[in-house]
Structure 1
């Protein structure tokens, strides 16, 4: 198969990203090789700390063992820059805490979904924080330590 098709498709996805202030976006990013880094409490909390430093008005988020779902309302920082900073800063903090250097924490890229006006933000937030239930990690969301939502 022609590899230029993949290059073109990736370029088109980036070009179609909506990064306007005030727009709510659901962001998902995955650890390298889907490694369950965030089963460990310390890396998970370091990631949460970086999320709060970058965007303290998050609508909802859940840190799963090998990925992150983050519902944000964009501010002045463009979407691409927000994710780049989160991934970079969290990788540095986690490497530093573990005494590692240069380990790549995150897979390249991320998935984003710009919410439409008719989409119910609270319903999307409930969907986000219910991920540990659907994954079978807990039977009650209150038993899972790495999530938050402004409505719940």
Structure 2
């Protein structure tokens, strides 16, 4: 759901390259586009592309059927521009994104680790898999 003025909260907000955010990006109308394995893998490739080209540092991500959780540190782009780039790169006739996104700044290392755990446990909590190891659309720098 888009809340009028929500994007205005981000306008003028400054962040540094050390800031990390938990971002949630929903699909349009919460449609489960990512039940399609290939659409989910396409999004994974886009997130990896952003990291490989030094736009960001990904700490963790998990692609759920109708949204993505991304624990990310923007580097050479603002958070809004980074999200816009991901949406633009992946949008197609088969995949539509909701207009807005949710983000929460991470304040310390303990919150960072707890948020990463929360993100990768999503498929298990949602009852999609019995073990996160059975889910193919996630990654975390803390798990090798």
| TM-score of the aligned structures, taking structure 2 as reference length | 0.86
**2:127 aligned partner:** 136
Mapped partners of 2:7, 2:116: distance in 1: 29
Q: Which has the larger radius of gyration?
A: 1
Mapped partners of 2:83, 2:60: distance in 1: 15
Q: Are 1:124 and 2:115 an aligned pair? A: yes
- 1:62-81 to structure 2, matched below 5 A, reads 62-81=62-81
| Cα displacement (A) at 1:17 | 4.6
Q: Are 1:48 and 2:44 an aligned pair? A: yes
Which 5+ residue runs of structure 2 have no aligned equivalent?
A: none
Change (3 A) 1:127 1:18: farther
For the aligned residues, what is the CA RMSD? 1.8
What number of residue pairs does the alignment pair up?
Answer: 137
- Match of 1:137, SS state, is coil
Mapped partners of 1:61, 1:112: distance in 2: 13
The answer to which structure has the higher helix fraction is: 1
